[in-house]
């Protein structure tokens, strides 16, 4: 099994890779901006049973570089799975105050993931096989004042994934959207420090891996977020606007 992971230093992605290395003896192509941390993850995965690991420094915004990365990865051998996991939990107030921060948040969380998806999708379409998994968020289910820049970006990814699922319906290509709730990773350290509940990253990774293996179109993890967000999506606007959530 050959797996490409974009944003491999993500806490959830790292734990998913541990499961794949242990259970599937997978071959990995790992991409991230922090190459020092990436090398440590690669060493750990080798000990856990990974067959081979290739590393790449991330270029998240250049379409030509993204296309070249996908082309090179596919040329080296058929790919079974691409996990697109990079993201940034931007501060909403900073996004409101500084347009450059707002732009970066949207580019990292929305534009970049879909560029990677399309770069690999064209190869998967020709082969009529392969899985593309997006690491989204429950934050994308409804715009809320506390994080609407981040949430809107994840909402964009959700709609894009839905469109790709429609595109590849009935084919050998699978598109999976993972929607984690707040998870115990460095990204949510500030939330955890304020006493907010976060899910164990090992649990979220296990449910992510299981959902991808089954080819499920959408995976809420932990599963309790499915009924929670169902309720949140259906709160009448005149009530919702009075809530501080």
Q: How high is the pLDDT of residue 216?
A: 95
Write down the domain spans for the chain: 2-240
Residue pLDDT, tens place only, 159-183: 999 999 999 999 999 999 999 999 9
* Residue ranges with strand state E in 72-201: 81-84, 130-135, 173-180
238 burial level (CB within 10 Å; 0-12, 13-18, 19+): exposed
pLDDT of 140 > 90? The answer is yes
Cα separation, 217 vs 211, in Å, equals 8
- C-alpha 235, offset from chain centre: 27
CATH of domain 2-240: 3.40.50.720
pLDDT of 5 > 90? The answer is yes
Whether residue 86 contacts residue 38, with contact meaning beta carbons closer than 8 Å, is answered with: no
At residue 197 the predicted structure's pLDDT band, cuts being 50, 70 and 90, is confident
For the chain, percent of residues with pLDDT exceeding 90: 92
Q: How high is the pLDDT of residue 186?
A: 80
Mean pLDDT of 198-225: 96
Q: How high is the pLDDT of residue 136?
A: 97
User: Within 13 Å of residue 104, how many CA atoms lie on the same side as its CB?
Assistant: 12
Q: How high is the pLDDT of residue 185?
A: 87
Residue pLDDT, tens place only, 35-46: 999 999 999 999
Residue pLDDT, tens place only, 75-129: 999 999 999 999 999 999 999 999 999 999 999 999 999 999 999 999 999 999 9
pLDDT of 187 > 90? The answer is no
Helix (H) or strand (E) holding 29: strand 27-32
Instruction: Output the average pLDDT for the chain.
Output: 95
Whether residue 15 contacts residue 84, with contact meaning beta carbons closer than 8 Å, is answered with: no
pLDDT of 231 > 80? The answer is yes
pTM, entire model? 0.95
pLDDT of 194 > 90? The answer is no
Q: Is 147 helix (H, G, I), strand (E, B) or coil?
A: coil
Q: How high is the pLDDT of residue 158?
A: 98
């Amino acid at each position: 099994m050959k797996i490409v992971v974009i944003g491999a230093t993500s806490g959830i992605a790292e734990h998913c890779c541990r499961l794949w290395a242990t259970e599937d003896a997978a071959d990995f192509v790992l991409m991230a901006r922090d190459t020092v941390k990436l090398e440590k993850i690669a060493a750990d995965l080798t000990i856990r049973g990974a067959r081979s690991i290739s590393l790449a420094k991330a270029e998240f915004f250049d379409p030509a570089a993204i296309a070249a990365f996908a082309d090179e990865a596919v040329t080296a051998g058929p790919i079974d799975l691409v996990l697109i996991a990079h993201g940034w939990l931007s501060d909403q107030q900073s996004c409101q105050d500084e347009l450059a921060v707002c732009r970066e948040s949207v580019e990292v969380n929305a534009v970049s993931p879909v560029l990677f998806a399309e770069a690999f999708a064209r190869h998967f379409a020709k082969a009529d096989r392969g899985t593309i998994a997006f690491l989204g968020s429950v934050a994308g289910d409804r715009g809320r004042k506390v994080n609407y820049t981040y949430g809107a970006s994840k909402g964009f990814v959700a709609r894009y994934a839905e469109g790709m699922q429609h595109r590849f319906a009935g084919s050998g290509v699978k598109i999976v959207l993972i929607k984690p709730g707040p998870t115990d990773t460095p990204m949510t350290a500030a939330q955890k420090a304020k006493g907010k509940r976060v899910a164990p990253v090992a649990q979220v990774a296990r449910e992510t891996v299981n959902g991808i293996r089954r080819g499920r179109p959408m995976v809420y993890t932990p599963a309790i977020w499915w009924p929670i967000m169902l309720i949140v999506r259906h709160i009448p606007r005149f009530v919702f606007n009075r809530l501080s959530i």
